[in-house]
A and B are shown apart, each in its own frame.
Chain A
């Protein structure tokens, strides 16, 4: 049981490049989330999904797209990276029903030059 995993761990992009961050969970969780955390700051929700094939906007969705084609995977895409997107990205998941515990992945550190 690997929990929540994220790929890649680190990435450096140039302005205007695109990339996809992958989040995978093997706990059969219904809900998945993408957050960003800037240095010395809290967690801000980018997008989330409440089930396979569904996505919804969070607090800071601009510049990002997401897809949940498979229940276990949640992809975060940057179509045209900007320096303001330099951050640590955390994925999280939780089960549905009466279980509210949210588990986080190890994070992806992204630098946009």
Chain B
């Protein structure tokens, strides 16, 4: 069945450094790829998303890249700050379906 693999499961970076989280999806028909940030005890919040007809999207310090041939997409956070510490989830939405396939999450810790 459809699957999204997310790596790494934990990531520690120094404040100011960059962080990269990678996801690989199995269903080549997937056409929408959101990224969620979940702080402790809070709801997942959409931080950026990308559609299959776009290769890269940026929003200030965060960016997402998509490689449809390799079926993987990545979240890039530059100039990390302590408030970026959270769990990040990737997801994929296969075309013609209603169900999002979520990755298992990456716990990011930004060290001051």
Binding site for B on A (CB under 8 A): 31, 41-43, 45, 48, 50, 56, 58, 90, 100-107
Which of A58, A101, A106, A107 is B99 in contact with, Cβ under 8 Å?
A58
Residue interface bits B27-67, CB-to-A below 8 A is 1, else 0? 00000101010000011111001010000000000000000
Question: Are B43 and A43 closer than 8 Å at their CB atoms?
Answer: no
Beyond A100-B32, A101-B34, A102-B34, whether A45 also contacts B43 by CB under 8 A is no
Q: In the complex, are the beta carbons of A41 and B43 less than 8 A apart?
A: no
The CB with the most chain A CB atoms within 10 A, among B32, B44, B46, is that of: B44
Residues from chain B with a CB closer than 8 A to the CB of A102 are 34, 46, 100
Q: For residue B20, give the distance in angstroms from its CB to the closest CB of chain A.
A: 19
Q: Which of A42, A48, A90, A101 contacts B105 (CB 8 A)?
A: A42
Do A105 and B99 have beta carbons less than 8 Å apart?
no
Binding site secondary structure of chain A: loop
C-alpha spacing A56/B36, complex, angstroms: 24
Known contacts A31-B98, A43-B44; 20 additional CB pairs below 8 A are A41-B104, A42-B103, A42-B104, A42-B105, A43-B89, A43-B102, A48-B98, A48-B99, A58-B99, A90-B43, A90-B44, A101-B49, A102-B46, A103-B46, A104-B36, A104-B43, A104-B45, A106-B42, A107-B42, A107-B43
Assembled-state Cα–Cα distance A18/B36 (Å): 32
CB of A42 to closest CB in B, whole Å? 5
Closest A-chain residue to B104, C-beta based? A42
Let me know if B103 and A45 touch, CB within 8 A: no
- In-complex Cβ contact of B98 among A50, A90, A107 (8 A): A50
Q: Would you give 26 A-B contacts (Cβ < 8 Å), ordered by A?
A: A41-B104, A42-B103, A42-B104, A43-B89, A43-B102, A48-B98, A48-B99, A50-B98, A56-B98, A58-B99, A90-B43, A90-B44, A100-B32, A100-B93, A101-B34, A101-B46, A101-B49, A102-B46, A102-B100, A104-B36, A104-B43, A104-B44, A104-B45, A105-B43, A106-B42, A107-B42
